[in-house]
């Protein structure tokens, strides 16, 4: 005799499972990368406010550095949208989604989700240090930006792999 | 290119020193070299430095009282007008400082009076005059505060208490016969009494409080008057800023003056002058003095002249990217001209949207025209303008127009002319990496040129050309298998050269082979460099996807009003337009920042890493250095 909970899952068709996993992929890529960027931009923003309080003319440079850890959220967002479009959810036609397809989309979201989350957090640390450096050395903007961008590379690589997986899912 | 420098030795009469330096500063062609014994901080006229600082803080102060200056370029004036403004700005500075001091004094006085009122407030109802409360022949007084319940305790001990209850303590005046003083003090100690001393005043506390309040009122009027006067002065803040620039110019000159060697009757100025400005400098000196010796020579081997870059007008803005990394070494190479076309192309490919490109192009042109930015800002604005142009061109090939597919716009199916990054992923990625390979080869070729120039053809062939051969060969093996023999020859030639000749300075054959293997290991570095160019594809994809999604959102907003007839269409258009505007401005900003920064990174790490010598120092001649005005050339 199937129990109550078994029967709920048993009633799901492979198509339903596909939709569920596709949605999970959308959520993962948008939310995890977004969390990373939100924390990152937040931390860098605090540091920037501290510097700008003393040196208002550093505002432009500080803001650019603050924004750099923000890109991961956008990468996650882009992947989420790509999944929505390619899976047909955004077009309203999800009938072709199978369990395999759904799992592929879910897997596709993982690189940008975790790569984005962790790289944003670490990029924020570099950005904060860069902003502090800017307070002491006004001409250090180029260097600070480069240090911060070094971390970005790995978010970009994650993004590319995620995009590949979405397109070939 | 890096402008050659000449070492200048100028000898002239001391009497002409001031006028010669003025003329040189106007020409802006000579960097004065400090005498060895002058340290940076000590040099220069202290009084001038003081004036610069005073003007700076006055300008800062007036910022708070004036209205925000209107947007627009800095005022444009001639040097004569700038220096003519000095007496007037001096007057303004003194007036500002005087008003500021008055304001500080008035506010301190108000604070003092308010504190006095606070002190006297517990005693407000005391009718006695303060000067009357003192010991007489037979009576002693104690003035102070008693805690709650203390009054009763003291009264029980049999002393007269006049009490004024407060919130936490009671102000109390206690009297006793002179003979009972010790008992009273004892009783007071028991009750937890704290003594209070009236300030030296005349009249009752209440009279004093009223008097203070009256004074505060008149002080407040004075404060308001002073603030109004400051606001009036703040209207002339630009004049103060002009004075600041004039003072800075004078201070700069005094710094150079301190760097000059002096004898009794003459002075010797050592400096660097650009070869193309030698004439100009000489004429400047000739216009200021009749007797002088102006001699220049080539820099010696052990001297390091400052670096100044000179490029064609089209390429010049990209100097700002190079200097953001570091100034080129004087004997190195100015990479601006080689870098600029790549930066231009990569920027466009990363933004890859004609609409955004058009917006940057128009915005950049308007900004340069109407805000008249100077120096580094002007160059940066032109780099962004060029980037916009590049994105405008790249759009039809690999991108979109404000996120809209070209095909949807023109009802065709030929766009994008090259690849759609969202469909032809592999070709787009190969294109990015291929361009990266060309970029890296360009870097290696520049290095080869430098090796030949420095008389080291062995390095050029064995350490540089070998890599081009090896990489070309390896790629050919995979890309065009039908040319396998040629590819293999290239690989063996390049790899062999690296293996056998990298350690050519080493005698021991095993050591030599070891360094060869070490050099070959660098192949991983080259591959990660090439892979790094995938970011061109990735950023292009992101800007395309963002634009597309934002259009989708705009469409949803419009559709939401679709069922409401004509009103719905109008409302939908307005709202969707507003939403689209905000979203696209955001996307433009983020993607431009990304393209700007990542293009710079590709230049700095992947390209400059191959050849750039970055230990240069900027050429910083004595000149009119203004921050608040634009000086007109005559």
Q: Where are the domains of chain B?
A: 1-38+259-306+619-634, 134-197, 316-611
Per-residue pLDDT averaged across A105-112, rounded? 96
Q: Does A78 touch chain B (CB under 8 A)?
A: yes
Beta strands in B94-168 (DSSP E): 139-147, 160-165
Q: Closest approach of chain B CAs to the CA of A122, in angstroms?
A: 18
User: Choosing among A30, A127, A159, which should be mutated to test the B contact, i.e. which has the most B CBs within 10 A?
Assistant: A159
Strands B169-177 and B160-165: antiparallel
Q: Does A156 touch chain B (CB under 8 A)?
A: yes
> pTM of this prediction?
0.83
Cβ contacts (< 8 Å) between B373 and chain A: which residues? none
Name every residue whose Cβ is closer than 8 Å to that of residue B572 and which is 6 or more positions away in sequence. B557, B558, B559, B560, B561, B562, B564
From the list B430, B396, B598, B548, the residue with the least C-alpha distance to A78 is B548
Cβ contacts (< 8 Å) between B552 and chain A: which residues? 90
Half-sphere exposure of B214 (CA within 13 A, CB side): 6
The answer to whether B488 touches B473, Cβ cutoff 8 Å, is: yes
Predicted confidence band at B634 (pLDDT cuts at 50, 70, 90)?
low
- Enclosing H/E stretch for B319: helix B319-325
Cβ contacts (< 8 Å) between A141 and chain B: which residues? 324
B562-571 pLDDT tens trace: 777 788 888 8
pLDDT at B383: 95
pLDDT at B158: 80
Q: How far apart are CA B17 and CA B31, in angstroms?
A: 16
- CB nearest to B538's CB, from A81, A90, A159: A159
pLDDT at A24: 95
- Bridge partners (DSSP) listed for residue B387: none
Per-residue pLDDT averaged across A42-59, rounded? 91
Q: Does A152 touch chain B (CB under 8 A)?
A: yes
Angle at B426 between CA B422 and CA B431, to 5 degrees: 100
Which tops the pLDDT comparison, B359 or B136? B359
B1-38+259-306+619-634 and B134-197 in the same fold: yes
pLDDT at B500: 87
Q: How far apart are CA B550 and CA B584, in angstroms?
A: 7
Q: How far apart are CA B618 and CA B5, in angstroms?
A: 12
B301-333 pLDDT tens trace: 888 899 999 999 999 999 999 988 888 999 888
- Dihedral sign (CA B24, B26, B28, B34): positive
pLDDT at B341: 95
Q: How far apart are CA B111 and CA A4, in angstroms?
A: 77
pLDDT at A118: 96
Quick one: CATH architecture of B1-38+259-306+619-634? Answer: 2-Layer Sandwich (3.30)
Contact A163 B425 (CB under 8 A): yes
At the top level of CATH, which class does the domain B134-197 belong to?
A: alpha beta
Q: Closest approach of chain B CAs to the CA of A17, in angstroms?
A: 26
Mean pLDDT over all residues of chain B?
88
Q: Catalogue all structural domains in chain A, each as residue range(s) with its CATH number.
A: 14-167 (1.20.120.610)
Q: Does A31 touch chain B (CB under 8 A)?
A: no
Strands B30-32 and B266-274: antiparallel
User: Choosing among B59, B63, B419, B425, which should be mutated to test the A contact, i.e. which has the most A CBs within 10 A?
Assistant: B425
3-class DSSP assignment, residue B167? coil
Q: Which residue has the tokens 């979201």?
A: A109
Q: How far apart are CA B341 and CA B393, in angstroms?
A: 14
- Rounded to two decimals, the ipTM of the complex is 0.79
Per-residue pLDDT averaged across A35-56, rounded? 94
The answer to whether B154 touches B187, Cβ cutoff 8 Å, is: yes
pLDDT at B435: 95
Per-residue pLDDT averaged across B574-590, rounded? 93
From the list A6, A16, A9, A4, the residue with the least C-alpha distance to A95 is A16
From the list B238, B425, B240, B163, the residue with the least C-alpha distance to A169 is B425
Question: What part of A 123-142 touches B (C-beta under 8 Å)?
Answer: 141-142
pLDDT at B37: 59
Mean pLDDT over all residues of chain A?
90
Q: Which residue has the tokens 């501290």?
A: A50
B102-153 pLDDT tens trace: 999 999 999 999 999 988 888 888 888 888 888 888 888 888 888 887 888 8
pLDDT at B272: 93
Any idea what DSSP says for residue B75?
P
B593-605 pLDDT tens trace: 999 999 998 999 8
Q: What is the dihedral of CA B278, B280, B285, B287, to 10 degrees?
A: 150
pLDDT at B349: 94
**Chain B residues in contact with chain A using a Cβ-Cβ cutoff of 8 Å:** 324-325, 422-423, 425, 429, 532, 534-535, 537-539, 541-542, 545-546, 548-549, 552, 590, 593-594, 597-598, 600-601, 604-605
Q: Does A81 touch chain B (CB under 8 A)?
A: yes
Contact B541 A163 (CB under 8 A): yes
pLDDT at B79: 87
- Beta-sheet strand order (sheet of B160-165): B160-165, B169-177, B139-147, B194-195
B152-177 pLDDT tens trace: 888 888 888 888 887 778 888 888 88
Contact B597 A64 (CB under 8 A): yes
B39-76 pLDDT tens trace: 555 556 788 888 889 999 998 888 888 888 777 788 88
Cβ contacts (< 8 Å) between A86 and chain B: which residues? none
Q: How far apart are CA A97 and CA B477, in angstroms?
A: 40
Can you give the three-state secondary structure of B4-73, one letter per residue?
Answer: CEEEEEEEEEHHHHHHHHHHHHHHCCEEECCCCCCCCCCCCCHHHHHHHHHHHHHHHHHHCCCCCCCCCC
């Amino acid at each position: 005799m199937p129990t109550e909970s078994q029967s709920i899952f048993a009633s799901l068709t492979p198509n339903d499972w596909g939709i569920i996993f596709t949605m999970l992929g959308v959520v993962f890529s948008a939310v995890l990368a977004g969390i990373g960027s939100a924390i990152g931009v937040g931390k860098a923003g605090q540091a920037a406010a501290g510097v700008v309080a003393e040196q208002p003319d550093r505002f432009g440079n500080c803001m650019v550095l603050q924004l750099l850890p923000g890109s991961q959220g956008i990468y996650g967002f882009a992947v989420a949208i790509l999944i929505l479009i390619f899976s047909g959810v955004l077009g309203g036609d999800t009938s072709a989604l199978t369990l395999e397809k759904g799992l592929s989309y879910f897997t596709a979201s993982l690189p940008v989700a975790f790569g984005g989350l962790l790289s944003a957090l670490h990029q924020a640390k570099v950005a904060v240090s860069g902003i502090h450096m800017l307070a002491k050395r006004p001409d250090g903007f180029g260097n600070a930006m480069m240090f911060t961008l070094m971390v970005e590379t790995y978010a970009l690589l994650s993004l590319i792999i995620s995009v590949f997986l979405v397109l070939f899912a | 290119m890096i402008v050659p420098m000449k070492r200048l030795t100028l000898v002239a009469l001391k009497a002409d020193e001031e006028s010669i330096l003025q003329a040189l500063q106007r020409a802006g062609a000579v960097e004065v070299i400090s005498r060895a014994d002058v340290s940076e901080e000590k040099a220069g006229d202290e009084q001038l430095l003081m004036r610069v600082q005073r003007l700076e803080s006055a300008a800062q102060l007036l910022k708070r009282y004036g209205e925000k200056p209107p947007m627009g370029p800095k005022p444009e004036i001639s040097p004569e007008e700038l220096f003519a403004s000095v007496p007037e700005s001096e007057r303004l500075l003194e007036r500002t400082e005087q008003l500021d001091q008055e304001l500080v004094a008035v506010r301190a006085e108000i604070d003092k009076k308010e504190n006095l009122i606070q002190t006297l407030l517990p005693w407000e109802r005391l009718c006695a005059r303060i000067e009357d409360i003192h010991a007489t022949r037979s009576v002693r007084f104690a003035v102070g505060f008693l805690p709650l319940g203390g009054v009763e305790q003291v009264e029980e001990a049999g002393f007269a208490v006049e009490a004024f209850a407060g919130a936490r303590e009671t102000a109390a005046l206690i009297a006793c016969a002179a003979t009972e003083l010790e008992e009273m003090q004892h009783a007071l100690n028991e009750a937890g009494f704290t003594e209070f001393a009236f300030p030296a005043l005349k009249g009752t506390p209440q009279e004093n409080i009223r008097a203070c309040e009256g004074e505060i009122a008149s002080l407040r009027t004075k404060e308001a008057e002073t603030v109004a006067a400051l606001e009036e002065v703040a209207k002339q803040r630009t004049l103060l800023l002009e004075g600041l620039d004039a003072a800075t110019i004078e201070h700069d000159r005094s710094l150079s003056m301190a760097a000059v060697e002096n004898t009794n009757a003459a002075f010797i100025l050592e400096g660097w002058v650009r070869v193309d400005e030698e004439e100009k400098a000489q004429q400047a000196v000739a216009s200021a003095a009749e007797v002088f010796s102006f001699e220049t020579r080539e820099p010696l081997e052990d001297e390091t002249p400052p670096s100044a870059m000179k490029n064609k007008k089209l390429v010049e803005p990209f100097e700002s990217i190079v200097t953001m990394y570091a100034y080129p070494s004087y004997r190195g190479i100015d990479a601006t001209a080689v870098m600029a076309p790549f930066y231009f192309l990569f920027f466009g490919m990363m933004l890859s949207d004609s609409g955004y490109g058009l917006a940057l192009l128009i915005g950049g042109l308007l900004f340069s025209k109407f805000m008249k930015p100077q120096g580094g800002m002007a160059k940066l604005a032109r780099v962004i303008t060029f980037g916009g142009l590049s994105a405008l061109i790249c759009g039809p090939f690999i991108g979109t127009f404000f996120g809209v597919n070209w095909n949807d716009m023109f009802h065709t199916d030929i766009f994008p002319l090259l690849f759609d990054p969202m469909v032809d992923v592999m070709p787009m990625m190969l294109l990015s990496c291929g361009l990266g390979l060309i970029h890296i080869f360009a870097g290696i070729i520049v290095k080869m040129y430098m090796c030949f120039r420095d008389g080291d053809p062995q390095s050029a062939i064995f350490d540089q050309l070998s890599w081009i051969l090896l990489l070309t060969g390896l790629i050919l093996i995979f890309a065009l298998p039908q040319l396998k023999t040629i590819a293999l020859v290239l690989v063996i030639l390049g790899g062999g050269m690296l293996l056998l000749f990298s350690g050519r300075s080493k005698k021991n054959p095993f050591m030599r082979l070891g360094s060869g293997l070490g050099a070959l290991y660098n192949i991983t570095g080259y591959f990660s460099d090439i892979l790094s160019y995938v970011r061109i594809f990735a950023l292009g994809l992101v800007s395309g996807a963002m634009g597309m999604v934002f259009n989708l959102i705009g469409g949803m907003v419009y559709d939401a009003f679709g069922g409401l007839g004509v009103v719905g269409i109008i409302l939908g258009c307005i709202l969707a337009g507003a939403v689209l505007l905000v979203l696209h401005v955001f996307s433009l900003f983020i993607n431009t920042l990304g393209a700007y920064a990542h293009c710079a990174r590709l230049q700095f790490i992947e390209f400059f890493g191959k050849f750039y010598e970055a230990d240069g120092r900027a050429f910083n001649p004595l000149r009119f250095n203004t921050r608040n005005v634009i000086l007109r050339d005559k």
